[in-house]
């Protein structure tokens, strides 16, 4: 049975790829992980390299595909440096760094992940329409305030927002809630080249600074 390191490795993740190549790599690895129970459980709980893969590399693959030409190269970098990826152009010239941040309720998500692995489903969280985004705002505010203290002047900052797609009748309400999130993030003074919101499940990108 494949081991974790055989499904996803640091060296494999950090290979420079075109935006389409990175997205293909991510989708391929996700399918391989799903096929092995032990790997799927490790991924659900974001153990080891899976935390970076899900919190950084998957959002990065969506962002890069929508923002950069396919002649560019995206090189993810795992570690504690002040960025998560390096972008170069067709000739290998440096374009910019990318830093991704993923505001979420880490404690609740970790508890849910354990339940999913142990019994097959997590705790049911019931919200009124838009309440999930309102709850998420406290984590967005906290995360962005921390990021605003750091210098990202040569870096594009991507704030990853994850929530379940709304029902058709609630689209207008959710659009209003997202506008409120935009206003919240715009009110924060970042030392960054550009700042984007990435609505992960909707594959949508909103530019809020720069």
Give the tens place of pLDDT for each residue, 178-202: 999 999 999 999 999 999 999 998 8
**H helix runs in 100-150, sequence order:** 106-119, 131-147
Q: Mean pLDDT over all residues of the chain?
A: 87
What pTM did the predictor assign?
A: 0.86
**Residue whose tokens read 């142990």:** 118
- Which segments of the chain have a pLDDT < 70? 1-6, 105-118, 120-127
* pLDDT at position 4: 42
* pLDDT at position 87: 98
Nearest C-alpha neighbor of 194 from the set 97, 112, 113: 97
- CB within 8 Å of 129: residues ≥ 6 apart: 166, 167, 170, 173, 174
Token pair listed for 164: 């379940």
Question: pLDDT of 67-94, one tens digit each?
Answer: 999 999 999 999 888 899 999 999 999 9
Token pair listed for 76: 């993810």
| DSSP type of residue 105 | -
* pLDDT at position 120: 62
């Amino acid at each position: 049975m494949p081991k974790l390191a055989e499904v996803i490795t640091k060296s494999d993740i950090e290979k420079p790829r075109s935006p389409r190549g990175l997205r293909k790599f991510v989708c391929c690895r996700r399918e391989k992980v799903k096929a092995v129970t032990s790997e799927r459980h490790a991924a659900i709980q974001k153990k080891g390299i899976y935390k970076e893969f899900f919190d950084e590399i998957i959002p990065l693959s969506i962002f890069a595909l929508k923002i950069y030409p396919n002649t560019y190269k995206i090189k993810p970098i795992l570690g504690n440096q002040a960025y998560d990826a390096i972008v170069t152009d067709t000739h290998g010239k440096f374009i910019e760094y990318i830093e991704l941040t993923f505001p979420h309720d880490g404690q609740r998500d970790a508890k849910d992940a354990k339940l999913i692995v142990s019994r097959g489903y997590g705790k049911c969280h019931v919200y009124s329409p838009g309440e999930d985004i309102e709850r998420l705002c406290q984590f967005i505010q906290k995360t962005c305030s921390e990021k605003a203290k750091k210098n990202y002047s040569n870096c594009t900052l991507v704030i990853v927002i994850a929530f379940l797609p709304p029902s058709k009748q609630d689209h207008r309400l959710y659009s209003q809630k997202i506008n409120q999130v935009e206003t919240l993030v715009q009110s924060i003074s970042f030392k960054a080249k550009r700042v984007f919101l990435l609505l992960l499940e909707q594959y949508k990108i909103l530019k809020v600074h720069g």
